[in-house]
Amino acid sequence: MNNLFEYINSIDPKSILISSHINMDPDGLSSAIALSFLLKKFGIKSKIKIYSDNFTLITKKIIEFFNLKDNFINSISNIKPDLIILVDVSNIEIIGNVKDFIINKTPFIIIDHHAFMQNKDYLPIFSIIKEDYCSTSEIIFEVFESLNLELGILEGKILLLGIIYDTKHFIIATNNTFYIINKILSLGIDYKEVSKLLRYPMEYSEKIARLKAGNRAKIYTIENWVLATSEVSSYEASACRGLIVMGADVAIVRSIKNNELRISLRSTQQFYEKTNISMSDISNEIAKMFSESNGNNLTGGGHSSAAGINGNITDKNIIKTIVELIKDKLKNKF
């Protein structure tokens, strides 16, 4: 851990840009915010800003509640960072406009709990990857500990949110997760007060999207597992989660808006644990397959039980191909 900060000091960047994946979620937000505080506490004198092309509704709520807007910049068109730090990113294809800096050879660092998809053309100058961790927020917490830096109340609350979110309220937590949670709560943080920030009332249009997804769902039974596919015009991720709640082991929901494809993939934790089939792997394979065959630019990435595919393709066979890929993988397992 110390090597990271020694390296940053050695290159002495005047400005650092911290970013995460498109639609930055609470783990990406928590990691980015806490890391920015950590860099300052360590004595890094660089100008530090955070950027994301977009945020989830929950992330926006957290930013507003903790008054964190000043930590972010709304545009990167007029800046030229000396160093980029990516958190909670499995693939540089899912970071949006920040990728342009990397294409133009701005050095970048990765801190993540996902397996990072290496691209020989764009290699990080430093990385901390811990795949056995449930969230990037846990890794950032351990950086604080390893450097003997005091974790403040605000940083503790922020990291707690990231951990709760990415462990699905501790469903996939490890013993190490609970060790970290205990350390954070010992600061005097009220768990109920913080965790309620991850709840929000569902909007009318989101409710309709979920109901339409259920009504349009196609059901497949493969090796005693239930797969459900559907299509909506928006809220595909929420609709996908809704299908899982209704009983699907795997859900795949597509939306197309302004010729932009968005596919959400979800699975139950039981499905992943029993089959070792990762939605992130599926999304990456499909993105690569269709990009190579059709010349389209698709990107995939995510977690073992939650992932997405984005791009400029309207090929309706893509859902069928995802189902066939999962079917083949299941048949090879049993």
Question: Which pLDDT tens digit goes with each residue over 275-299?
Answer: 999 998 899 899 888 876 655 677 8
- Least confident among 117-121, 123-127, 199-203: 117-121
Question: Could you tell me where the DSSP H helices lie in 126-203?
Answer: 136-146, 153-166, 175-185, 191-195
Residue 334 banded pLDDT, cuts 50, 70, 90: low
d(CA 263, CA 253): 6
Task: Specify the higher pLDDT residue, 29 or 290.
Answer: 29
Task: Specify the higher pLDDT residue, 201 or 112.
Answer: 112
Dihedrals phi, psi of 227, to nearest 5 degrees? -110, 140
The predicted structure's pLDDT at residue 34: 97
Residue 61, number of CB atoms within 10 A of its CB:
16
Question: pTM of the full predicted structure?
Answer: 0.83
Q: What is the mean pLDDT of the chain?
A: 90
d(CA 308, CA 204): 23
The predicted structure's pLDDT at residue 218: 97
Give me the residue label for tokens 């860099």. Answer: 39
The predicted structure's pLDDT at residue 292: 64
The fold of the 205-333 domain, in CATH, is: Diaminopimelate Epimerase; Chain A, domain 1 (3.10.310)
What is the pLDDT averaged over residues 95-114? 91
Residue 70, judged by CB atoms within 10 A of its CB (0-12, 13-18, 19+), counts as exposed
The boundaries of every CATH 3.90.1640.10 domain in the chain are: 2-198
Indicate the length of the chain as a whole number: 334
The boundaries of every CATH 3.10.310.40 domain in the chain are: 205-333
- What would the CATH number be for the domain defined by 2-198? 3.90.1640.10
The predicted structure's pLDDT at residue 287: 87
Q: What is the share, in percent, of the chain residues with pLDDT greater than 90?
A: 64
pLDDT of 207-241, one tens digit each? 999 999 999 999 999 989 999 999 999 899 999 99
The predicted structure's pLDDT at residue 312: 77
